[in-house]
Amino acid sequence: MGTKKKEIREGKRPRGAKPGTPKHQAKPVQKGGSRYRIVLVSPEIPGNLGFVARVMANFGVEDLVLVNGCEITEEARDRAVHAQQILDNARRARSLGEALKGTSLSVATTANLSLPDKSLQRNPLTIRDARKKILRARAPVALVFGRESRGLLNDELERLDLAVTIPTNDAYPSLNVSHAMAIVLYELSNAVRTISQPQAANRGEREALLDRFDELERASHVPDWRIKRNRVMIRRLIGRSSLTKWEFHALSGVLTRPAKQLKRRPAFKPRK
């Protein structure tokens, strides 16, 4: 075993992070979700605070307010991984009213539902149905999550502007607070990162690819009537596949080389 690997295994040297990971970023959290304030009412499990911070960092949300509840322990910091700064900057509030100061809209989350019109507090919209209403509100918007054991109480729900829920299995409706938060933030943010889409091949490139197929078939002595029929079939196949420019160039190369090799061979003489 090499000296470097041995020292890393024995804990004498830190293992280097791969480029692009949060350790290589001066400030890992992107400013993508600054319009949202996460309010946790009386959190009970320190480890969940770490998971919450990590989810917030995933979606670029930094504003965390804790209404009373448990302390931020080393376990919470360990579970936050590279989002510990969110826990460092978390604010404490003595009441829900104090936590909501300065927000334009407050959104309650609940898993406990009632029959329509039987309980105003627990008659929520799904997060997907409420999405447009939340996005239209001025920032900051408070997203309020309750206790792990009981969620938000009725008197707390009464003070919030909008109630939302995540459709789950009726037999086991309640989600871990960090899981619920991940779903809510995903629905509201469409993610912070933009995923670049490959450039589609244009009509000229698609036609050129069909010509490559024709050349290969002619070099293989495929009858003209079959080449014509195959061209229609391959055109439909390419149309369904949403061919990209990179795929066009790669397939062109695959088809061109064997066509050239076949053309160099002696003329094919069918058996009589």
Q: What is the DSSP string of 179-216?
A: HHHHHHHHHHHS-SS--PPPPBP-HHHHHHHHHHHHHH
Asked if residue 212 and residue 159 are part of one domain, the reply reads no
Asked if residue 157 and residue 109 are part of one domain, the reply reads yes
Asked if residue 220 and residue 103 are part of one domain, the reply reads no
Asked if residue 216 and residue 184 are part of one domain, the reply reads no
Domain end call among 151, 166, 189: 189
CB 29 within 8 A of CB 62: yes
Residue 82 lies in a domain: yes
Query: What is the residue range of 34's domain?
Result: 27-189
- The span from the CA of 73 to the CA of 60, in Å, is 23
pLDDT in tens, 201-260: 999 999 999 999 999 999 889 999 999 999 999 999 998 988 999 999 999 989 888 888
Residue 96 lies in a domain: yes
> How far lies 24's CA from each of 3, 17, 62, in Å?
25, 7, 19
What is the predicted pLDDT for the residue at 15?
45
Asked if residue 175 and residue 78 are part of one domain, the reply reads yes
Asked if residue 210 and residue 132 are part of one domain, the reply reads no
Rounded to an integer, the average pLDDT of 128-141 is 90
3-state secondary structure of 149: coil
Question: Number of C-alpha atoms within 13 angstroms, CB side, residue 197?
Answer: 5
3-state secondary structure of 158: coil
Single-letter code of the amino acid located at 119: S
pTM over 0.85, yes/no: no
Domain end call among 133, 163, 189: 189
pLDDT band at 24 (very low <50, low <70, confident <90, very high): very low
Instruction: Record the tokens describing residue 34, joined without a space.
Output: 């600054």
Asked if residue 134 and residue 209 are part of one domain, the reply reads no
Residue 13 lies in a domain: no
> What contacts 30, CB < 8 A, 6 or more positions away?
60, 192, 193
Residue 87 lies in a domain: yes
What is the predicted pLDDT for the residue at 174?
87
